[in-house]
């Protein structure tokens, strides 16, 4: 009860010293279950009620059994609209400072199935190398083309690439960051079929100015990071019998479905071609020309 009073959304004063904000308790998170293209996915995530804010911040798809056929380009902003998505769930979490200092940090979750608008005919995302190709293309289409006036890339990624062991399909988590955009993103991705990838996309930020290191020293990122970690750790995926057969057939030529242990940051700025998969690197002269 004391925390409800101590950490509230009301702001009557500014914070004057480093603090650790508080967000929703993961212990109160509900379990969400979906069947995507026949396979079962479940995870836990809290829901936080925001007064006077759009309901889209807490969207939950009613399609519990989704074949993921109807993907749209409007929910994600990629280079030349080369990727499409189907939104399954969104959450925006506010983290509050102590004693009426109000909202000091935020953490967002965007869960969607993604694929290139021009679906590849000869690329199976269940194969770890094909999955990595898709991740490279998507990240470049989403972040890699953004650049500063001097032609340098605004974003860096993937960073902290981490293969997820013991998962029934290739899976990895990683981050994408930009100091100039004050943007920190954590992604957890895996294929749910040969032509669809499920993406848990998290972002978080704090109400302070400076470099990431300076901001973290003022407002701790740990509560947001703990919330993200708990959601990721709660994810369970059970392939359908049909998908199990596909995986068994794939293991005949690729016994190890694990993703690469290391995945260095991509060379950005860059764009993608019409497939959304092939990366087109930009040389220095081209970068300067595009930057004006």
Question: For every one of its 292 residues, what pLDDT tens digit does the chain have, with 9 covering 90 and above?
Answer: 455 555 456 554 567 678 899 888 899 899 999 999 999 999 999 988 766 666 667 788 888 888 998 899 998 999 999 999 999 999 999 998 765 566 879 999 999 999 999 999 889 999 999 999 999 999 999 999 999 988 899 999 999 999 999 999 999 999 999 999 999 999 999 999 999 999 999 999 988 889 999 999 999 999 999 999 999 999 999 999 999 999 999 999 999 999 999 999 999 999 999 999 999 987 654 545 544 4
Contacts of 279 (CB under 8 A, 6+ apart): 136, 137, 140, 144, 266, 270, 271, 272
Half-sphere exposure of 164 (CA within 13 A, CB side): 19
Q: 36 with 68: CB under 8 angstroms? A: yes
Q: 105 with 204: CB under 8 angstroms? A: yes
pLDDT of residue 61: 87
Task: Tell me which residue of 189, 38, 42 sits closest to 113, measured CA to CA.
Answer: 189
Predicted TM-score (pTM) of this structure:
0.91
pLDDT of residue 289: 52
pLDDT of residue 193: 97
pLDDT of residue 18: 86
Could you give the CA distance from residue 112 to residue 70 in angstroms, rounded to a whole number? 12
pLDDT of residue 57: 73
Pairing of strands 197-206, 183-191: antiparallel
pLDDT of residue 101: 63
Q: 48 with 105: CB under 8 angstroms? A: no
Q: How many domains does the chain have?
A: 1
Range of the domain at 116: 2-291
Could you give the CA distance from residue 25 to residue 231 in angstroms, rounded to a whole number? 12
Contacts of 36 (CB under 8 A, 6+ apart): 66, 68, 113, 192, 193, 196, 198
Q: 206 with 215: CB under 8 angstroms? A: yes
pLDDT of residue 151: 87
Structure tokens at 72: 């749209």
pLDDT of residue 216: 95
pLDDT of residue 150: 86
Half-sphere exposure of 100 (CA within 13 A, CB side): 3
Could you give the CA distance from residue 234 to residue 32 in angstroms, rounded to a whole number? 10
pLDDT of residue 290: 47
Backbone angles phi, psi at 225, to 5 degrees: -65, -40
Pairing of strands 103-116, 83-96: antiparallel
């Amino acid at each position: 009860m004391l925390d409800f009073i101590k950490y509230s959304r009301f702001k009557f004063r500014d914070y004057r010293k480093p603090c650790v904000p508080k967000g929703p308790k993961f212990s109160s998170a509900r379990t969400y279950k979906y069947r995507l293209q026949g396979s079962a996915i479940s995870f836990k995530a809290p829901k936080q009620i925001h007064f006077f804010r759009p309901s889209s911040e807490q969207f939950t798809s009613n399609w519990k059994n989704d074949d993921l056929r109807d993907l749209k380009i409007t929910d994600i902003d990629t280079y030349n609209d080369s990727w499409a998505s189907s939104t399954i769930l969104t959450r925006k979490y506010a983290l509050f400072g102590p004693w009426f200092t109000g909202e000091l940090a935020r953490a967002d979750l965007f869960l969607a199935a993604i694929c290139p608008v021009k679906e590849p005919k000869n690329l199976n995302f269940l194969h770890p190398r094909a999955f990595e190709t898709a991740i490279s293309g998507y990240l470049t289409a989403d972040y890699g083309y953004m650049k500063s006036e001097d032609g340098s890339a605004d974003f860096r990624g993937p960073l902290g690439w981490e293969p997820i062991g013991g998962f029934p399909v290739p899976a990895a988590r990683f981050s994408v960051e930009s100091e100039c955009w004050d943007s920190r993103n954590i992604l957890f991705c895996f294929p749910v079929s040969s032509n669809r990838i499920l993406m848990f996309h998290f972002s978080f930020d704090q109400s302070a100015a400076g470099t990431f290191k300076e901001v973290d020293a003022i407002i701790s990122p740990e509560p947001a990071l703990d919330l993200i970690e708990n959601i990721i750790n709660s994810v369970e995926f059970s392939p359908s019998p049909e998908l199990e057969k596909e995986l068994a057939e794939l293991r005949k030529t690729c016994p190890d479905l694990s993703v690469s242990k290391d995945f260095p940051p991509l060379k950005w700025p860059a764009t993608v071609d019409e497939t959304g998969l092939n990366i087109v690197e930009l040389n220095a002269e081209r970068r300067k020309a595009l930057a004006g």
